[in-house]
Structure 1
Amino acid sequence: MLCGGGLLILSMVIGVGIGAVPVPAGTVFGIAVNKMVPGLIEADWSQGREAIVWDIRFPRVILAALVGAGLAVVGAALQSVTRNPLADPHLLGISSGGAFGAILALLHTGLFLGLLTAPLMAFAGSLIATLLVLAVTRFAAATSADRLVLSGVAVSFIVMALANVLIFLGDPRATHTVVFWMLGGLGLAQWSHLLFPLGVLSLCGAWLWVKSGDLNAMTIGDESASTLGIPVVRFRLTVFVAGALITGVMVAFSGIIGFVGLMIPHIVRFAAGGNYARVIPASMLAGAIFLIWADILARTVMAPEDMPIGIVTGLIGGVFFVWLLRRKG
């Protein structure tokens, strides 16, 4: 964790420094310190460079860390309560539901609650998609882990089809902004937006970490968890709601970014074992580092254009998914 914390800080400095206008690490550090403690360091950089670093790149890198941490911890929790190593907020339709809610707010209802509109609508969409997955699972008597994933994929297709209907019926002049949510991106990050994902991740992440013992018990089966006094059905539903809240808020500010919740918990378990007291914080840390570097790759591979980060994570995650299927086979 100490090494990971150091790597996270190093990744953030590199992420802020890399771009169309490269900024040395010393300048990045100086600007950050000068903003937090004005006058402590003599400013030997231009106002333009300071604006690029502080107003554009720092919020983007911090948002990447928050989104990566959030998606990774949701994936780890879902893999426990579903006892399915392939569980992921993207595969289970939760991300699609969040995108549906955000698109509905942007193209049809308007921001009637201000900045809170998109996150709240995205959370509502994620929660509805989660309940739909559970309903389809119950309706189809799909009790196995594999069938649960198939139910999630089916709901994801349905929800994305409905989202496409919303785009088709929306104002053609505004639909180009929806591409952000469809492909994923961090280019709209602002300091004022970071409070929402930070608050939700802090509260829900802390709750999941406190419940790490229950998550450990859920991995060995419902009967064993029940004998330990865990209300299995209620706990599973609560974890789904917490995951929908985290995913919905992250999707509202970053769009659909897939496979982070699938990959990172498996990588973490290779290094930290299966105890969720370690898996939860390590997944958050590793997810943050991974998405920062995915964003760096998205910004540099087609510079000066920004490639949607969902493409990068999709390519990496697809290969990892195939490898995981092969390994489980």
Structure 2
Amino acid sequence: MTAYAPVRLSRPAPPDPAGGAGMGHGAVVAVGSVGDEVDVGGAPTRTSVARAPSRAGRVVVLFVSLTVALGVLLILSVGLGQMGITPAEVLGSILNRLGLGVLPGPAHPNAESALWAVRMPRLLLAAMVGAALATGGVLMQGVFGNPLAEPGVIGVSSGAAVGACTVIVLGLNALGTWTAVVAAFIGGLITTAVAYSTARQEGRTEVVTLVLTGVAVNAVAGAIIAFLTFLGDTSAREEIVFWQLGSLNGTRWEHVLVAAPVIVLGVAASGLFARRLDLLALGERPARHLGVDVERLRIVVIVLVAILTSAAVAFCGVIAFVGLVVPHLVRMLVGPGHTVLLPASALGGAVLLLAADLAARTVVPYADLPIGMLTALVGGPFFFYLIRRTRRGAGGWS
């Protein structure tokens, strides 16, 4: 336990006879611990100056570590499988594609085809889906103002899956490859609107109501998916099972080319809301006084989350808890500031889903486990721990 010593505060300085302004009655007093130099009047203290480089160092270390982990996982994952390809051969193949014949390519005659037609699109989509889900989790937690919000928990993913499954059963193809994405977006937007409007009361969002609404939305979405499974033929049923379990098996470059612009632009656009989300964390009333249109911000962010989630769910099914686990782990390392939290979570989500996909393809020989199952095995216990910690901190669900 940290001991705190009394802090000596200086009285406001009288006005300078030469015309210099002294400190007024509205000066903020900083409270420090043992060994801190505390000053008033907004001047930087020795403690604040000493702590700044420490956090900046953690941020740099985090981004470098995530970037290196992402690159290493990508190189290792693309080479692992029933046909083994060494990292040197993978790098040689990539460099050859870029016109730099520095390293030799794969020796096996079918390795190039397996590398670029099967594994590379799958891994790129996994990284983008992880980034989209983690970014959506940060945005949801920011606009709802509680740590339990996540696209899967409140039913956004399930609603998007309903839209995609409807396209599968009815055989809709009006927009080509984009049909499933648009249908998933509409389904996710509807469920998000239902959860938000239900949890919103007297100008604030209730945590308990939000979680309970998510349970109800997920149950209704599950019932609709079961009904669609009953209506569909054998092929449609197999595809619906794919959506429910979540898998990246069968990913093609066509899917990557459709999801990439939506996810990349969505993740980039999320950075535009970083400052306003930081102000909203102070409370709705202070945020409004500082010029934030809270309701408009929530609506725009909700639509953005629905877009990101729909692009992820449309091609790989329901993958839960990525948007819950990653933002909290990043907050533990670098704090809650959204300027750092958003890009770091996007990188962390990409790393997490690449690792989960690698485990799905290698844990059981000659089998491809559902990736949604693996993320749920990790995220479920973490969600339980988070609920327990939040309840202790709030003194109960009152």
Which amino acid in structure 2 is aligned with residue 67 of structure 1?
V
Q: Are 1:128 and 2:190 counterparts?
A: yes
Distance 1:138 1:322, change over 3 A: closer
Quote the residue 2:395 is aligned against.
Answer: none
- Specify the alignment match of 2:180 in structure 1: 118
Give SS of 1:241's match: helix
Of the three residues 116, 120, 141, the one matched with 1:58 is 120
Inter-CA distance 302–229: structure 2 relative to 1 (3 Å threshold)? same
Aligned residue in 1 for 2:227: 165
Are 2:133 and 1:71 equivalent residues in the alignment?
yes
CA contact (8 A) 1:197 1:246 kept: no
* Counterpart Cα distance in 2 of 1:215 and 1:200: 22
Letter in 1 for 2:137: G
What CA deviation, in whole Å up to 9, does each residue of 1:141-178 have, x standing for no partner? Answer: 98412212221221121122112111111123431121
- Which among 142, 162, 166 is matched to residue 104 of structure 1? 166
Task: Tell me the secondary structure at the aligned position of residue 86 of structure 1.
Answer: coil
Identity %: 38
Q: What letter matches 2:146 in structure 1? A: N
Aligned-partner Cα distance in 2 for 1:40–1:299 = 30
Q: 1:226 to 1:64 in 2, by over 3 A?
A: same
Moved more, 170-179 or 136-145: 136-145
Compared with structure 1, are the counterparts of its residues 302 and 253 closer, same or farther at alpha carbon in structure 2 (3 Å cutoff)?
A: same
Q: Aligned AA for 2:209?
A: R
Query: Are 1:26 and 2:88 counterparts?
Result: yes
Cα contact 1:97–1:159 (8 A) shared by 2: yes
Distance 1:177 1:271, change over 3 A: same
Q: SS state of the match for residue 211, structure 1?
A: helix
Task: Show CA shifts across 1:86-109 (max 9, x none).
Answer: 111001110001100110111114
- Classify 1:140/1:169 alpha carbon distance in 2 versus 1 (closer, same or farther; 3 Å): farther
Contact 1:137–1:148 under 8 Å retained in 2? yes
Q: What CA deviation, in whole Å up to 9, does each residue of 1:55-93 have, x standing for no partner? A: 111111111100101000000110011011011100111
Contact 1:101 1:118 in 2 (8 A): yes
Verify: 1:321 aligned to 2:383, yes or no.
Answer: yes
Superposition deviation, residue 40 in structure 1: 5.8
Partner of 2:283: 221
CA RMSD across the alignment: 1.8
- 1:241 is aligned to 2:241: no
Matched, 1:81 2:143: yes
Is residue 209 of structure 1 aligned with residue 289 of structure 2? no
C-alpha contact (below 8 Å) 1:84/1:146 kept by paired residues = no
Paired AA for residue 13 in structure 1: I
Q: Is the 8 A contact 1:214 1:230 kept in 2?
A: yes
- Alignment of 1:7 onto 2:69: yes
CA distance in 2, matches of 1:234, 1:327: 31
Tell me the TM-score normalised to structure 2 length. Answer: 0.79
Distance in 2 between the 1:142 and 1:180 partners?
Answer: 37
**1:142–1:148 Cα contact (<8 Å) kept:** no
Distance of 1:87 and 1:143 partners within structure 2: 11
**Which residue, out of 174, 180, 188, partners 2:236?**
174
Moved more, 187-196 or 282-291: 187-196
Choose the corresponding residue for 1:288, options 350, 353, 357: 350
CA distance in 2, matches of 1:4, 1:254: 23
Q: CA deviation at 1:42?
A: 4.7
Q: Number of residue pairs matched?
A: 329
Q: 3-state DSSP class of the match of 1:47?
A: coil
Q: Secondary structure at the match of 1:100?
A: helix
Higher radius of gyration, 1 or 2: 2
1:197 Cα deviation from its structure 2 partner = 2.2
SS of the residue 1:194 aligns to: helix
Instruction: Give a deviation string over 1:268-304, Cα, whole Å, max 9, x none.
Output: 0111211100000000000000010011111111121
Q: Where do residues 30-49 of structure 1 align in structure 2 (5 Å cutoff)?
A: 30-37=92-99, 41-43=103-105, 45-49=107-111
CA–CA distance in structure 2, aligned partners of residues 213 and 139 of structure 1: 25
Q: Is the 8 A contact 2:92 2:106 kept in 1?
A: no
Q: Which runs of 4+ in 1 moved over 6 A?
A: 139-142
Deviates more, 1:168-177 or 1:32-41: 32-41
- Partners of 1:222 and 1:38 in 2: CA distance: 54
How far apart, in 2, do the equivalents of 1:270 and 1:235 lie?
26
Bigger helix fraction: 1
CA distance in 1, matches of 2:201, 2:271: 32
> Which one-letter code corresponds to 1:186 in the other structure?
L
Name stretches of at least 5 consecutive residues in structure 1 with no aligned partner: none
